[in-house]
Structure 1
Amino acid sequence: MVRMVSVLLSLLLLLGPAVPQETRDGHYSLTYLYTGLSKPGCRALTVFLNGRAFFHYNSEDRKAEPLGPWRHVEGVEDWEKQSQVQNAREDIFMETLNNIMEYYNDSNGSHALKERFGSFWKNAYDGKDYIEFNKEIPAWVPLVPEAEPVYVQRAKAYLEEECPATLRKYLKYSKNILDRQDPPCVVVTSHQAPGEKKKLKCLAYDFYPGKTDVHWTRAGEVQEPELRGDVLHGGNGTYQTWLLVHVPPQDTAPYSCHVQYSSLAQPLLVPGEAR
């Protein structure tokens, strides 16, 4: 048990700040994703601001490098210093992974450690969670008996004191990026196989930030979709989502896709195909 507590405390030391903070200007988040493999002995890190990839680091290059629009922002971070920090944390991370392997007596094969944390914490060894942060309480919740309360108290103090300061530092250079609002583009498509219901799909894409309201209406009344896609990253720093309704062959009522977004004065209204 002492060994596992030591392992978990070392995890705390390698982690960077990761908790969303409410500021006077709005809601911003800083999230870290660590992944590592015991063989070939590698680690990768991606850091996100409001869900957008901010910088990354990997064992091969051993460099912390900004991503997306932050490539062109001067002064947001000392990247050489950040690279040195991540070099040191890489050694701690891999030592931690080896310690967990030893605790579970898993010396053979390749094993994985994954940590994703922000307003939450999900820490998994070979896909199995063993500690998490519950933001509703808020409190650290050990998922195995070995994660003792001392870790919980240390982690709480660390996140409350250091995380807000680091997030505020990044926001000095990033608010113009994070506060921009790109309204969605919307396209409606349809498909109908012989003898089956018509499928109407509404796709909203290229919007940022990732919060929008999309729904179908039939003759002005909101319809429950058959399928609804998650809000996902679109690959260019924006988001996308979709939803699908089924229309019976005998149904001649007009269907429309409604998209509401904070930067739009009026909701977008895209009709389905005329029947």
Structure 2
Amino acid sequence: MVTMVPVLLSLPLLLGPAVPQETQVGPYSLAFLYTGVSRPSKGLPRFQATAFLNDKAFFHYDSEGRKAEPLGPWSQVEGMEDWEKESQLQKAREEIFLVTLKDIMDYHKDSKGSHTFQGMFGCEIQNNRSTGAFWRYAYDGQDFIEFNKEIPAWVPLDPAALNTKKKWEAEKVYVQRAKAYLEEECPEMLQRYLNYSRTHLDQRDPPSVSVTSHVAPGRNTTLKCLAYDFYPQRIGLHWTRAGEVQESEAGGEILPNGSGTYQSWVVVGVPPQDRAPYSCLVEHSGLAQPLTVSWNGRQ
């Protein structure tokens, strides 16, 4: 039976050899997210694929339009990709991906309802060197199987994935190709994309910060530090008491604003008798130095 891995790895790399790069900092990442749905609801494609440079989507393909199309600023970039060839590649992956979804449903003997199969793979580089890679799948939101390039082997994370592992490892060359893709081809592809993308990916928007407090009679004062409109998403956000970092009672998640930037917050409680100074400490690549915002609620 046809499986996803042979098609994914046996098609020729479309981008050609990597082009020498100027000194990089990074990190930079390239990731592909695939989603297949057995019974999609109205308006939802049965299959869609999105490629990301760092956290920015730069091309999309789905089973409705069946064309790989650049997104955002990459729609104005010439020569980055042969989009017709990319469309043909994604069509092949669509077919195999949906066959794999059906195989899993057949294993469970469950053809009713709607089921989802997702795959994500990619790599990261920093200072021109590969610093990480991943390749994993999920079925109905649960971990299914992942590739361990150190063994190398596909590692089942679900009983049904044992059957998938046997099919994907029937030919030993496919395991070696998966390892080579993560360690060599993906970083080379990312290096080439950076020729056209570094300006967009090196964007640095420093966070705006606000500190608020809420006092309930007889209870702790709740302090909230909100950082917003920052990019990239990595940020250090902490409350300090007399200079000592405090464990947050809530928050800590980094969420998109919907405008290409992010927001995050942390919360801490201050007992009524506590008179120590509290400050919010913010560390971000868009700041020349860490930012400290003091809470002046007692004044």
TM-score, reference length from structure 2: 0.77
2:80 aligns with 76
Q: Distance in 1 between matches of 2:58 and 2:151?
A: 26
1:107 and 2:111 matched:
yes
Secondary structure at the aligned position of 1:36 is classed as strand
Q: Deviations over 1:190-210 (max 9, x none)?
A: 222333211111112222222
Q: Which of 106, 129, 138 is residue 124 of structure 1 equivalent to?
A: 138
1:9 aligns with 5
Q: Which of 162, 165, 182 is residue 145 of structure 1 equivalent to?
A: 162
Structure 1 runs not aligned, ≥5 long: 18-22
Q: CA deviation at 1:257?
A: 0.6
2:147 aligns with 133
Q: Distance in 1 between matches of 2:91 and 2:24?
A: 34
Q: Distance in 1 between matches of 2:252 and 2:209?
A: 14
- Does 8-17 or 232-241 show the bigger shift? 8-17
Q: Distance in 2 between matches of 1:75 and 1:176?
A: 16
- Does 142-151 or 91-100 show the bigger shift? 142-151
Matched-pair contact (CA < 8 Å) for 2:9–2:178 = no
Q: CA deviation at 1:8?
A: 5.2
Matched-pair contact (CA < 8 Å) for 2:223–2:268 = yes
Q: Deviations over 1:221-256 (max 9, x none)?
A: 322222242223332222322111101122233211
1:20 aligns with none
Q: Distance in 2 between matches of 1:126 and 1:237?
A: 28
Cα distance, 1:215–1:204 mapped onto 2, change above 3 Å: same
Q: Deviations over 1:84-143 (max 9, x none)?
A: 3323322222222223323433333322111122222220122332311347x4744411
Q: Distance in 2 between matches of 1:73 and 1:242?
A: 36
Q: Which of 246, 250, 264 is residue 269 of structure 2 equivalent to?
A: 246
Q: How does 1:90-105 map to 2 (within 5 A)?
A: 90-105=94-109
Q: Which of 90, 105, 129 is residue 86 of structure 1 equivalent to?
A: 90
Q: Distance in 2 between matches of 1:134 and 1:273?
A: 51
Q: CA deviation at 1:50?
A: 1.1
Figure out how many residues of one structure are paired with residues of the other and give that number: 266
Secondary structure at the aligned position of 2:95 is classed as helix
Cα distance, 1:15–1:192 mapped onto 2, change above 3 Å: farther
Cα distance, 1:114–1:15 mapped onto 2, change above 3 Å: farther
- Does 45-54 or 214-223 show the bigger shift? 214-223
1:33 aligns with 33
Q: Deviations over 1:5-59 (max 9, x none)?
A: x535347449999xxxxx8513311011111111247011121111222222222
Q: Distance in 2 between matches of 1:138 and 1:186?
A: 45
Matched-pair contact (CA < 8 Å) for 1:218–1:255 = yes
1:174 and 2:197 matched:
yes
2:260 aligns with 237
Q: Distance in 2 between matches of 1:204 and 1:96?
A: 42
Q: CA deviation at 1:158?
A: 3.0
TM-score, reference length from structure 1: 0.83
Matched-pair contact (CA < 8 Å) for 1:190–1:273 = no
Q: Which of 275, 279, 298 is residue 256 of structure 1 equivalent to?
A: 279
1:272 aligns with 295
Q: Distance in 1 between matches of 2:243 and 2:217?
A: 28
Q: Distance in 1 between matches of 2:12 and 2:198?
A: 20
Which amino acid in structure 1 is aligned with residue 255 of structure 2?
A: L
1:156 aligns with 179
Matched-pair contact (CA < 8 Å) for 1:187–1:204 = yes
Matched-pair contact (CA < 8 Å) for 1:214–1:257 = yes
Q: Distance in 2 between matches of 1:15 and 1:267?
A: 47
Secondary structure at the aligned position of 1:106 is classed as coil
Secondary structure at the aligned position of 2:233 is classed as coil
2:228 aligns with 205
